[in-house]
Each structure stands twice: as structure tokens, then as C-alpha cells.
Amino acid sequence: MIMKEVLDFSFNEKGRDNFIHQKHYHNTCYEVIHIIHGEGSVVLKDKIYPMKNNCIYFINGMDIHYTAPNNPAQYVRSKILINSDFVENVAESTDCHDLIKKIFIQDGGICIELNEKENEIVDKEFKKMSETLKSGSYKKLNIAISLFNIFQYARNHNEEYVKPKSDKISEVLEYINKNIEKKISLDDICKNVHISKYYLCHTFKKNTQISIYDYILSRRISMAKKRLIYTDMTISEIALCCGFSSFAYFSKAFKEAESLTPKQYRKNYSKHE
């Protein structure tokens, strides 16, 4: 039985998953994905990382992210989606809060490439978690131990993180996120990144599996969620500072994305004191 703090878990799962090529985010959760086999791209917030064997991705679930394997049928990975409060409470008691902030929060996530020995150990930790969740005792303790053993590799690699892709689409993402609070048009992007509209739309969709407008909207929703949870800004102020053209449009888009109004979402998840 999966403990309530673990929202999703898989060990050495092969084939398509429900979120392949789909933008998504999770409320107040962290996600760790270990790639066993697969090539393609992984989008984390405003960066595109290469999907590679023996890589592990630490993801802030509140930021837009998705995997785009070139061959979904041959895609093999292990992953855990866990409540961020659980992780942060353990981090506070073990003096690891700065590490958690660095790998999950600072940039929406990171990627590290494991050597052969590290890869085997991480695989064993996921296997331990799988066994614990199925029939083990002291679930919270054992899951925490395995997770923080995995987190330790992020500390060991320190600044040796896998770098995001550097290409025109990465430049587009950078421009969008620098100007996310403003009105953004295709003309603005093309002018600043020096590409044609056709190339922009075609290549962006090919590389990220979503349209530019869909990506911009998702980033704005993600920003709004964080402000609803962590600040006392009014909903109108949040709509404005996240780049929405009107309060009505913000409310409609938010409800479609979250199945809750902004007010309901704040009531359910607010951490502002």
C-alpha cells in the first residue's frame, strides 16, 4: 500500500506513461525520475534538458515539466512523486534544507548524470522503495532514507549538473521567461531571437510537444499558483503580475487548468501565515 505522502511511484517501468508529451504540474510535490533507457528531451520549467540513460532529474512539481522520449515504447524509468512538506520536514531535521532548495526550487529542478556505480546504487534505492511501499514496515523512515541517499548524489556532483540544451528553442524559452509578466507576441519573440514565425511555431512544437501559447499559459498558471500559496497578494494583483490581460481571463484559464477557482485553490493550499 502506498503511503499518503507518496502520490505516485514506479520502478523500472517500460513504455508510455500517462504524462509523456503532456505538460503537467503537481501541487506542492517533488518528483524524481531516473532514466534507465531512453533518449529525447525533458522540459523543466524554462529549460530543455537532454534525456539520457543513467541520468536523474530532480523536479519541482509546481513548475511545468514533461518528458518527451523519442521512442516511448522503449522508454524505461523509475520515478517517485512525493509530498514536498514531507521532504522539507525531513530536510529541516537533517540540516539538508539548502540542498533541497538548490535541487528542486532554485531553477525548477536539475539533472545529473550518474557514473556506472552511482547508477547501480540509485537503482537499488528505487528497488528498496518499491519493496517498502508494497509490504514493508516503517514506510516513512525507509522512504526518507532511500530518498536522501539519492539526494546525496546531487550534493556530490555539486556544480557538475547536466547543462540544458543551448539552441534557438532554448533562447525562445529564455526570452519568454524574462518577459512572462508582459504581453508576449510571436512578433516579439521572432524579432528578439531572430527566427521566422514558421520556424518558431514548427520547431517549438517539434521540440517541446506543445504550442508556444500553451507553454506561456502554463508558465503563467504555475507562477500564479505559487503566489496564491505563498503570498497575501490579492487575486487581481496576481493576475496582473503573472501577465494575464484581465482578471476574467485569469479566472477562466485557472479554472480550466486546475478545476478550482483561484480563491478555492488558495483556500486549499495556502501556506502564507
DSSP string, 168-225: HHHHHHHHHHHSTTS---HHHHHHHHT--HHHHHHHHHHHHSS-HHHHHHHHHHHHHH
Show which of 102, 137, 157 is a domain's final residue.
Answer: 157
Average pLDDT over every residue of 237-250: 94
CATH number at residue 152: 2.60.120.280
**Residue 117 lies inside a defined structural domain of this protein:** yes
Do residues 83 and 38 touch, judged by C-beta distance below 8 A? no
- d(CA 41, CA 71) in angstroms, rounded, equals 11
Residue 27's pLDDT band (cuts 50, 70, 90): low
The total number of structural domains in the chain stands at: 2
What pLDDT does residue 81 have?
93
Boundary residue ending a domain (119, 137, 157): 157
Query: What is the pLDDT averaged over residues 187-205?
Result: 92
With a cut of 70, say whether residue 2 has pLDDT above it. no
Residues 6+ apart with CB under 8 A from 163: none
Please check whether residues 190 and 80 belong to one and the same domain.
Answer: no
Distance CA 55, CA 63 (A): 20
Mark whether 152 and 255 lie in a shared domain: no
Separation CA 107–CA 102 (nearest Å)? 8
> Both 188 and 97 in a single domain?
no
The CATH code of the domain that includes 213 is 1.10.10.60
Residue 92 lies in a domain: yes
Domain that holds residue 57: 6-157
Same domain, 263 and 179: yes
Is the pTM higher than 0.75?
yes
pLDDT given at position 19 = 55
Check pLDDT > 90 for residue 156. no
Assess whether 146 and 178 both reside in one domain.
no
In whole angstroms, give the CA distance from residue 148 to residue 151.
5
pLDDT for 21: 46
Domain-embedded: residue 163? no
